[in-house]
Amino acid sequence: MLTSDNNNNLAEGAAADGHELPVARDSNDNTNNSNIGSPAEEGVLGKGSGSSAFTKDQPECFVCIEAGADLLRGCACRGTSAGFVHLQCLVEAAQANRATWFRCPTCKQEWTGRLGLGIARARYSLVAEMPEEDEDRLDAAMDLTRALSKSGDFAEALQLGHETLTTLRRVSGEEHEDTLRAMSCLAYVHFEMCDEAEALPLETEILAVKRRMLGNDHPETLAAIANLAATYADLSHHDVALPLLTESLEGERRTRGSDHTASIIAMNNLATLHMHMGNAEEALPLYTESVERNQRLLGSQHPNTLFSIGSLGCLLYFMGDHAEAVPLLEDSIVGLTLVYGEAHPHVVNFQERLDSCVSDMADSPD
């Protein structure tokens, strides 16, 4: 997801919504797939693992400093113990420190996966009975819309997104920054649902306003460029998408550096477009760099890393390198299933590609 540094939005530290176009095993990661989640970089510890089962090397909640069942981790903290927390403990910590609603206080990355959805639901539940024009309620609704969409809960995300945008258009006007953010949330839901025809007019309007009000190099403008480009790419309008994605990547690198999350996602999206256009030689170095940077900055089991690994696996499959593609796709599927579940669109997409790859290898005379 593309992040926005605009602190004038309703959410303090909230992120704008960025699209990742649907499409290597970590050389430093010796973890077998069957052991991912024991404990996981991102996931939940199973019920019944009472405190007596933990050793000093096993995780404990960073808020209450106690071990126990249902510890979650949904950030970029690494190792066997860092970053784990009970959801209720995190909610209590966030009520005392607003920034904790959005990001891990240690690694400073956004919450993801089940923890991200859980904290977003908890935040919204605290303000759901407030008047619909209340800023905290609107902000929490947008945060929850985004989390629901990332988790594949599209029906609920769509309803909440429409309600929030309707309210903000009425109380703040069409071009207010919070209205534009609500439009971006709703466009993100439509994009994830593969309903690009609904996303396109929203994203076109957002970009036109951002260019006029903020200029071409503002982070929010660059995010809007990337989102519109991703939608055009999904609609196979490659001639329109290519210059937009190139502008997005160059702008992110110039203004925020190559290690910023937005730059890496732009890199991955440009690689995906090149793959769809049949330009494998252009896509390969971009995908490879995306994987390397994500692994170094976020760890091998962060959702962004897992998505880039799966994308690289898809490219290698299309290039005919099935032996290299299979372990990458397997790692991505196992990790993303742990985070989002097996029905998530990214998991389904990569599983279909893996099945095709294995079938092709079985049919090969070699």
> What is the overall mean pLDDT for the chain?
85
CB 40 within 8 A of CB 25: no
The residue ranking higher by pLDDT, 10 or 126, is 126
pLDDT band of residue 366 (cuts 50, 70, 90) is: low
276-286 pLDDT tens trace: 999 999 999 99
- Dist CA 11 CA 1 (whole Å): 16
pLDDT at 23: 53
Helical pair 177-192 and 135-150, crossing angle rounded to 10 deg: 20
Residue 19 confidence (pLDDT):
65
- pLDDT tens sequence across 303-349: 999 999 999 999 999 999 999 999 999 999 999 998 888 888 889 99
Instruction: Tell me the C-alpha to C-alpha distance, in Å, between residue 79 and each of 31, 59, 318.
Output: 12, 9, 34
Structure confidence by residue, pLDDT tens digits, 58-108: 789 999 999 877 899 998 888 777 899 999 999 999 999 999 999 999 999
In angstroms, how far apart are the furthest CA atoms of the chain? 67
Position 38 pLDDT exceeds 50: no
Distance, C-alpha 182 to centroid of its chain: 17
59 preceded by cis ω (within 30°)? Answer: no
**Sign of CA pseudo-dihedral 200, 203, 208, 209:** positive
DSSP 44: E
Q: Which DSSP symbol is given to 35? A: G
In percent, the amount of the chain with pLDDT more than 90 equals 70
Integer Rg of the chain from CA? 20
